[in-house]
Structure 1
Amino acid sequence: MLNLPVIAYAQDSDISDQVKEDSVNSDEVIVVTGTSIRGVPPTGSDLISISREDAKLVGAASTAELLATVPQLNSFNTAPRVSNGGLGSFAPGLRGLPAAATLPLMNGHRLISGSTQQTNPDYPLIPELALERVEIIADGASAIYGSEAVAGVINFITRERVSGLEANIRHGFADDYDALNAGAIFGQDWDSGSVIVAYQYQQNNNITGADRDYRSLDFRSVGGIDTRSTVCADANVNLFAGTIYAAPGLAPGINTCDPRGPVDLMPQNRTHSALVSLRQEFTSGITAWADVLYSDRKDTVQAALPGQTFVLITAANPFFRAPPGTGSVFGYFDFRPDRLVGADHFDQTFRVRAGNASAGIDIDLPSDFQASVYGSYNWSRNDTFQPGINTTALTAAAAGTTVATALDPFGFRTDPAVVGAILDNPTDFTNRQRTRIGAVKLDGPLTELPGGEIKIAVGAEYRRETYMQRGQSGGVGFPENLERNVKSVYGELFVPIFGAGNATPGAYSLALSLSGRYDHYSDFGSTTNPKIGLTWQPVDGVSLRGSYGHSFRAPGLRDLGSTVGSYYSAAALVDAFAPATRRAVLHRSIRSSYTAATSR
């Protein structure tokens, strides 16, 4: 169990001070998470900021470990798992909502998913030394960022300027467990730009249920009951005569075992991650930038073997043995297929390779306006392999009548060809996802009020998503080719009603923001999401915030693909089994249901 200390994170008053300081001391004015306007903090919402120094304080060696220290996240103070069961990366949600309702970003840009089941963005595996800070908005933010920002946004911001070489290495260990983290970052800084290159390697071995005493299923020693399984490597035979017989001797009794003992509590993991970041100012008003993050993570998971129950074997099977004194010519066998597999578990493998690349140009315009043109190309590949038992082949072997065709439920005498047929039932999938984004944004001050500058931001974005799946499960292929286009426009207005120039008792500061975003999806429709935010400081150091807005989560490509697949399956069943006189009516019903589902 990983226990991390809880630390206090900076709120948006500190970020506001940081924005002002950067405005004074630098030509660069930062854009803070939760707003599209340079030089202002989010209005009406808390901004939680976790700095690089905070990460050092808690000793977090990965983004997952760092996020485990944030109380607003569902993963608070829990041991993070990198692969989330192999279905995607570590993905906690905000405010108790599912992970799909929280939008992760890197430097304000959308990321790719590496999951087999979902297409909502994954959390980035950024090298520890390359992370500058993490900013969290625990409030709906679809008016700024679009889909998935229902519960909030988590923005990972990387370092821009590093001079020289930094490196670190960590090694941790516990009973039957060790972990290694090693990383380095190199940077070169010059007057008009900078470049950094960072790399991190992480690995840990697995922890099984048998490695931890607290996970025992036999509670008799403390006055409880024995909850272990009766489906074990040594079979139990039931003649339905009131007595159970335990192999190998087939004496009356029951074999028991711990089915979770060989199963992983934490899987074996290996992760590579690398980041390259470049900034270059060509003239006093034109700056180009690019960020590329690549990660390759692999989990090997010890999974439980599927127990086989009520397998009928008769005296026709050459390996059948009747319990002594019964003279039975049949038996129902419960057993775990350890002797077929050659181990007490299956080794499942999950490998996810993901890349997120963004580049753009920022152009300073008259009157302190700035235009930004940028694009992203994100890609991922998920290779999943899960062994399985072919129950049809196993049933056929149980009914076998020769040594070459029969199942031996007691030992290792099953013919290798029969074993191969029984084990030939893997789930083996390759999933590829691509996201291409082009965007433009314009922001700057409109006019001056006594309380400060009215500022505005407007922008447009085009996104194309594709999803491809190849592979099979249980000998059945499930190919999918899905795609969509998303067109978006948005705007934001910041109005400082009271500020340094007109502060009065009870109104030290009062700021209003109005924002809205329109998104059109090629596959299911359009949505408009407004938001109003208000931050009031009656006196210095006391802030009251409120907001009202709409947020949404668009169905992922995988969601729509699964829906389409289910209706296609229903149509196939209609063709196979329905009487001809009813097929037309049923097909019309299915088409109507499909249309309703995809238009929601």
Structure 2
Amino acid sequence: MRSLVTISLLAGCCPVVAHAQDAGQVLAPAVAPEDDDEDGQGQYGGAEEIVVRAGRLRGEIDVPQQPVAVFEEEDIAAYGVASISELLEAISPQTGSGRGRGGGRPVILLNGQRVSSFREMRSIPPEAIRRMQVLPEEVALRFGYPPNQRVVNIILKDKFASKQIAGEFNYPTRGGYSNYEVEGSLFRVDGQRRTTLEAKIVETSLLTEAERDVIQEPGTVPTIPGAPDPADNRSLVSASREITLGGTSAMGLGEDGLGGSLTVNGAYTRTDTRSLSGLDTVLLTADGATVRRSLEGPLRSRVGTDAFQGGLAYNKALGGWQLTGTVDASYTDATTKVDRRRDLQALIDAAAAGTLPIMGPLPPVAGAGYDTARSKDVGVSSLVTVAGNLLRLPAGEIAATFRTGFDYSRSDNEDTRDLNGSVVLDRSEFSAGVNLALPLTSRREDVLSAVGDIALNLSGGVDHLSDFGTLTEWSAGFTWAPTEKLSFQASYIVNEAAPSLSQLASPQVLAFNVPTFDFVRGETALVTLVSGGNPDLLAERQRDIKLALNWELPILDRSNLVIEYFRNRSTDVTQSFPLLTPAVEAAFPGRVTRDGAGRLMAIDRRPVTFNEIASSRMRWGLNFGGSLGSSANAAAAGAPAAARRPSSPTTGGRPAARSTAGEEPQPGADRASSRAERPGGPSGAPERASRGGAEPAGVGPMRRGRQGGRWNVAVYHTWRFTDTIRIAPGVEQLDQLQGDAISAGGVPRHAIEFEGGVFRNGYGLRLQGEWNAPARVNGSGLPGSSDLRFGSTFDVGLRMFVDLGQQQSLVQSVPFLKNTRVSLTVDNLFDQRQRVTDEDGNVPLAYQAAYREPQGRIVGIDLRKMF
């Protein structure tokens, strides 16, 4: 007999994550074909029809929002990075959010599930990643997070094992200091079992003002030959050493993991820093002559920090729902020691009495010791979410996420300079909320299919803080996808936020001899800066609007356009103390100290509350990419059209449920079918049949020795339309885009981020950078005052690397070089440092280039070896 073998690729469907569905399901026997030969045999000689149902890749997220970018294994290999931390840094233009809330890295998921902390993932080798999705901010609501950052979902291979050591050495072309890093890690994943061990040390040497030829303020430099130079004793970059030890263990519970999964992680970090704050100086006067003298020994600040961190994550399927619970705890003990100024009044009196020659050697002066500030911070954060389908509408299931959490933080601070003694603040916070995603129309369900897919998203929550009372939040949004390649989003978010404990309770610390530009007098002064917490801060109210478009372009195979508009408005905003402009000094007169002649002496820079901040801006980006060499030829030769369009950094396409690209080869599919469904790696070689299931331990792009390659370009432009601040009620509104800035550097109207590169036959070249338009900061307009112009900045990083393991003749000669990568990096490729000038074109001493960018161009060499 003959039979007809039919391969049917039917996308799976799950409300949030497809991890609950098997990678593939073989259904047999099936209905016999109707056009068999007269003997009942099909032309392919089989007895039965076998239908292979291809499910969504386990761990992939299925949401109405179209992905901003999707990275496959080969795309990730093209970045030449050693860890997930470096990978996220390399793709920051795609993962960055323009919303203007929050900060830092995006929300990170692992296999479509929440993790207790990024510690679980930071040292995982990129070769272990099977696919990575970047999704809009609104997706964070489904996992219990606020919609402040984009969401990155990292899907690991089922089996992978590696050991690696890596080191890098960095040195600026201007000299002066050096930096090195050495790290080692072990990683293994086998289904639900996952183990990570890591150790890392980072050390940076001191960089002083003298090593960058910083011009000192007139009258502050001793005039006696051979006297200690303050520039040699004032640091631009602190000396530091950081040692990190960490580990993660994940396991399945119960028989075959039916009891869920549990992840435990922990880390210890020791950080020591040392900085110099100049010298003790004294004015000695005798017989009408005055000379400035400096004493040996710099004023030092030393900070030692011990940080202990640990976390738990538990995941379990409850019928059609997914339960996730996470706990993250930390304890930090930081001690800051700041040298006291010596009492030099005896020298002044001796010089005035004629018993001390003002030009002669100075007698030794005993040190005044140091002041100590110590802070002990404890934090515990827990969150439990239950996600699943609530009920079914004609257009599909209502996806719901219920969350509840409890956070506790305590800050215990004491300072020998504080007469009030120890300050202790603690906060407990209980939160609860719900998020609902309601499909209104659907092409798949044939409900108003001519309109496309429309989904409504509603969320609400409440937070009760022990020291701030009850805060509320809610949001509403919708997603409209008229086609699979075009989608629109709109959302409105209302949120109340409290200041952090560090903003409320950090110990008061003094920094001496800090060069600061005085806008009132148009001069640079060495002032004492006071930092710490402010217990009088208020709760902030936020109201935000977002409109977005995501379009898979009809050019190339892999390209998309993302356009986002944001409008933010906040009242009672907690901010770091702003740049001391005349308007700021008028609003906070008690924060500034001047002497009898009006010279600036000290600034209290503890946080403040602004009355209102409002802004609007557009962020839009273009992503392009493709294959090089035999990889592209192989895809074009015989692969189906759908297979030639895999999800990639530049497709931004719909989730895999709506495309055959990226689906898993199934156990029942033959090798040829698997090759057709998924194009090969950079070499054009077909994917291994094992890729749909258990992959051999240690297999990754670096180990396969593939040829071929990838290229991509991503460019994002931010255009700020408005940016206004009202410091206090009744005070004139400040327009930061017109020079009424509250930060050093002003606010540029335009900014561009980009990254891109090419990788082929083991050789890679990457560029990443950011350009910011010029900006200005207005002076007071009084005599002696001046506007400042902050020039544009163009910071470009270059990375060139070679995977030596792909150079077969070299590996045959030196087997140790197998699985080894060497990289040459250049940060600040053009050695650009921002130029700041006043109205006369002069550079104020407080804004010398070395203050804006101390390091300059930095050249580094990286070496990585996998075992």
* Letter matched to residue 224 of structure 2: A
**Residue matched to 2:348:** 398
The verdict on how the C-alpha distance between 1:180 and 1:487 changes in structure 2, with shifts beyond 3 A counting, is: closer
Measured against aligned partners, the alpha-carbon deviations of 1:21-73 in whole angstroms (never above 9, x if no partner) come to 874518999788xxxxxx533x5686567788766544455777555445559
The verdict on how the C-alpha distance between 1:419 and 1:125 changes in structure 2, with shifts beyond 3 A counting, is: farther
> Is contact 1:359-1:374 (8 Å) kept?
yes
- Normalising by the residue count of structure 1, what TM-score does the alignment of the two structures yield? 0.62
> Is contact 2:141-2:147 (8 Å) kept?
no
* Residue 415 (structure 2) pairs with residue 457 (structure 1): no
> Is contact 2:120-2:265 (8 Å) kept?
no
Of residues 107, 129, 132 in structure 1, which corresponds to 2:125? 129
**Residue matched to 1:247:** 224
Q: What is the SS of the residue equivalent to 1:555?
A: coil
Any residues of structure 2 matched to 1:409-420 within 5 Å, and which? Answer: 413-415=362-364, 418-420=365-367
Task: For 2:56 and 2:383, locate their aligned partners in 1 and report how far apart those are by CA, in whole Å.
Answer: 21
Any residues of structure 2 matched to 1:96-495 within 5 Å, and which? Answer: 97=100, 108=114, 126-127=122-123, 129=125, 139=137, 149=146, 151-152=148-149, 163-174=160-171, 175=173, 176=175, 177-187=178-188, 189=190, 193-206=192-205, 208=207, 215-217=212-214, 227-230=215-218, 235=222, 246-248=223-225, 259=231, 263-265=235-237, 267-283=239-255, 285-306=258-279, 308=281, 311-314=282-285, 328=287, 331=290, 333-337=291-295, 339=296, 341=297, 346=300, 348-360=302-314, 362-366=315-319, 368-390=320-342, 393-399=343-349, 413-415=362-364, 418-421=365-368, 424-426=369-371, 428-473=372-417, 479-495=422-438
**Residue matched to 2:580:** none
Q: What is the SS of the residue equivalent to 2:273?
A: strand
Task: For 1:31 and 1:521, locate their aligned partners in 2 and report how far apart those are by CA, in whole Å.
Answer: 35
1:199 to partner: Cα distance: 0.3
Task: For 1:162 and 1:407, locate their aligned partners in 2 and report how far apart those are by CA, in whole Å.
Answer: 78
> Is contact 2:385-2:403 (8 Å) kept?
yes
* Letter matched to residue 534 of structure 2: T
The verdict on how the C-alpha distance between 1:399 and 1:95 changes in structure 2, with shifts beyond 3 A counting, is: farther
1:208 to partner: Cα distance: 2.1
* Letter matched to residue 426 of structure 2: E
Q: Which runs of 5+ in 2 are unaligned?
A: 1-12, 25-54, 506-532, 538-608, 610-867
1:298 to partner: Cα distance: 2.0
The verdict on how the C-alpha distance between 1:555 and 1:44 changes in structure 2, with shifts beyond 3 A counting, is: farther
**Residue matched to 1:40:** 62
* Letter matched to residue 186 of structure 2: I
- Normalising by the residue count of structure 2, what TM-score does the alignment of the two structures yield? 0.45
Task: For 1:408 and 1:65, locate their aligned partners in 2 and report how far apart those are by CA, in whole Å.
Answer: 59
1:460 to partner: Cα distance: 1.7
Measured against aligned partners, the alpha-carbon deviations of 1:319-349 in whole angstroms (never above 9, x if no partner) come to xxxxxxxxx2663x43444x1x1x5x73633
Task: For 1:408 and 1:199, locate their aligned partners in 2 and report how far apart those are by CA, in whole Å.
Answer: 60
Task: For 2:471 and 2:419, locate their aligned partners in 1 and report how far apart those are by CA, in whole Å.
Answer: 37
Task: For 1:334 and 1:518, locate their aligned partners in 2 and report how far apart those are by CA, in whole Å.
Answer: 61
Larger mean CA deviation between 100-109 and 175-184 belongs to 100-109
Q: Which runs of 5+ in 1 are unaligned?
A: 1-14, 33-38, 77-92, 112-121, 218-226, 236-245, 250-254, 316-327, 567-592, 594-600
* Letter matched to residue 229 of structure 1: E
**Residue matched to 1:25:** 23
Task: For 2:143 and 2:499, locate their aligned partners in 1 and report how far apart those are by CA, in whole Å.
Answer: 16
Task: For 2:420 and 2:158, locate their aligned partners in 1 and report how far apart those are by CA, in whole Å.
Answer: 49
> Is contact 1:302-1:347 (8 Å) kept?
yes
> Is contact 1:183-1:199 (8 Å) kept?
yes
Task: For 2:71 and 2:208, locate their aligned partners in 1 and report how far apart those are by CA, in whole Å.
Answer: 34
> Is contact 2:306-2:332 (8 Å) kept?
yes
Task: For 1:527 and 1:535, locate their aligned partners in 2 and report how far apart those are by CA, in whole Å.
Answer: 27
1:282 to partner: Cα distance: 0.9
Measured against aligned partners, the alpha-carbon deviations of 1:343-388 in whole angstroms (never above 9, x if no partner) come to 5x7363343524131233x34333x123344433332233333334
Of residues 489, 501, 506 in structure 2, which corresponds to 1:557? 501
> Is contact 2:432-2:461 (8 Å) kept?
yes
1:162 to partner: Cα distance: 5.6
> Is contact 1:49-1:134 (8 Å) kept?
yes
1:462 to partner: Cα distance: 1.8
Task: For 1:164 and 1:101, locate their aligned partners in 2 and report how far apart those are by CA, in whole Å.
Answer: 29
Measured against aligned partners, the alpha-carbon deviations of 1:248-272 in whole angstroms (never above 9, x if no partner) come to 49xxxxx997838862346443331
1:429 to partner: Cα distance: 2.6
Larger mean CA deviation between 256-265 and 295-304 belongs to 256-265
1:476 to partner: Cα distance: 5.3
The verdict on how the C-alpha distance between 1:268 and 1:440 changes in structure 2, with shifts beyond 3 A counting, is: closer
1:491 to partner: Cα distance: 0.7
Task: For 1:61 and 1:492, locate their aligned partners in 2 and report how far apart those are by CA, in whole Å.
Answer: 36
Task: For 2:340 and 2:385, locate their aligned partners in 1 and report how far apart those are by CA, in whole Å.
Answer: 51
Q: What is the SS of the residue equivalent to 1:152?
A: coil
1:530 to partner: Cα distance: 1.2
Task: For 1:94 and 1:180, locate their aligned partners in 2 and report how far apart those are by CA, in whole Å.
Answer: 29
Instruction: Count matched residues.
Output: 458
* Letter matched to residue 369 of structure 1: W
Task: For 1:510 and 1:169, locate their aligned partners in 2 and report how far apart those are by CA, in whole Å.
Answer: 48
* Letter matched to residue 269 of structure 2: D
* Letter matched to residue 40 of structure 1: D
- How high is the sequence identity, in percent, across the aligned residues? 16
Q: Looking at secondary structure, tell me which structure has more strand per residue.
A: 2
The verdict on how the C-alpha distance between 1:297 and 1:61 changes in structure 2, with shifts beyond 3 A counting, is: farther
- The CA RMSD over aligned residues, in Å, is 4.7
Task: For 2:139 and 2:357, locate their aligned partners in 1 and report how far apart those are by CA, in whole Å.
Answer: 61
> Is contact 1:462-1:485 (8 Å) kept?
yes
The verdict on how the C-alpha distance between 1:280 and 1:19 changes in structure 2, with shifts beyond 3 A counting, is: closer
Task: For 2:479 and 2:101, locate their aligned partners in 1 and report how far apart those are by CA, in whole Å.
Answer: 28
